[in-house]
Amino acid sequence: MDFRKRDNVSVDCVIFGLNDLGLNVLLRKRTLNMFDENYPVIDDWMITGGRVFISKTLEESANVIFEGITGYNEFNRTQFRTYGNPTRLKSDKDLLWVRSHGVKTQSMTIAYYFAQPIESIIVDEDQFKWFSIDALPELGFDHSKIIKDAHEDLKQKIMVEPIIFDLMPNKFTLNELQFAFESVLEIELDNRNFRKKVLKKIYIVPLNETKKGTAKKPSKLYVFSRDVYDKVSEKDFIVNV
């Protein structure tokens, strides 16, 4: 096995997770203490990246990073953009951090995002933390921009591909599905109209099973059938904003 890496190209992974509070991004702490243990020179957040393996595809390199963080080996991965501005790193903090980690400046990075329900992921809570997409902390490098681009791409793809189901647990209720769309798209949908549309889609299959989750009336569960979806030739997806 060849573990060599390219010294000038990295992949960055934006990790999206959905829970009942909405859409979240998993970030890694970026700290640097130089003089005083209690007053870090750098104390903010970043997405996780790493150099690409010479002998692997970009997708495999991204998977390695994702699995390293999450322990999860189901890869709902989308490549959305490559950043290659040689002056991407501008701020003193960024340069300082990069130098202190003994890496060459990574001027080029292929960016991916991963989408899954938060519940399926366990992370090292000393280093990583989930942040709501609409309350991101201060971010290093150009990672604000990268996350924004990822979210835009997700919004757009969600309208035409069934990636919303990547964010859902296997069995879900229609209200959960609606909430997923609302969280990603940052809009509100009419519940009755949403149901009408969804129930027409034969690839959303009702189960003879209910979710007696929190309380009150149990709700019917559904699964997404990729088989059926693939057979429905027409481009036929749920939401039209």
Partner DNA sequence: GCAAAAGTGTTGACAGTACACCCATGG
Partner DNA sequence: CCATGGGTGTACTGTCAACACTTTTGC
Interface with DNA by CB under 7 A: which residues?
A: 173-175, 190-193, 195-197, 210, 212, 214-220, 240-241
In whole angstroms, what is the distance from residue 195 CA to residue 21 CA?
21
Cα angle at 115 between 195 and 110, to 5 degrees? 140
> Tokens 């998977």 label which residue?
63
User: Is 79 a binder of a second copy (CB under 8 A)?
Assistant: yes
Q: Which SS3 state, helix, strand or coil, does residue 54 take?
A: coil
86 contact, one of a second copy, DNA, none, CB 5-8 Å limit per kind = a second copy
Q: Which of 221, 128, 213 is nearest to 174 (CA)?
A: 221
Query: What does DSSP say about strands 22-32 and 128-132: parallel, antiparallel, or unpaired?
Result: antiparallel
Q: Which SS3 state, helix, strand or coil, does residue 154 take?
A: helix
Considering beta carbons, is residue 60 or 119 the nearer one to DNA?
119
C-alpha dist (Å) from residue 30 to 33, 55, 143: 10, 29, 12
82 contact, one of a second copy, DNA, none, CB 5-8 Å limit per kind = a second copy
Cα angle at 47 between 119 and 134, to 5 degrees? 65
Residues across the chain:
241
192 contact, one of DNA, a second copy, none, CB 5-8 Å limit per kind = DNA
Of 84, 206, 213, 218, the residue at the interface with a second copy (CB under 8 A) is 84
79 contact, one of a second copy, DNA, none, CB 5-8 Å limit per kind = a second copy
User: Is 77 a binder of a second copy (CB under 8 A)?
Assistant: no
Of 15, 46, 110, 168, the residue at the interface with a second copy (CB under 8 A) is 110
How many residues at the interface with a second copy, by CB under 8 A?
22
Residue 187 CB, shortest distance to DNA, in Å, is 10
User: Is 104 a binder of a second copy (CB under 8 A)?
Assistant: no
Burial of 104 (0-12, 13-18, 19+ CB in 10 A): exposed
Of 158-187, which residues contact a second copy (CB under 8 A)?
160
Return residues touching a second copy (CB under 8 A): 6, 8-9, 52, 54-59, 61, 79, 81-86, 108, 110, 156, 160
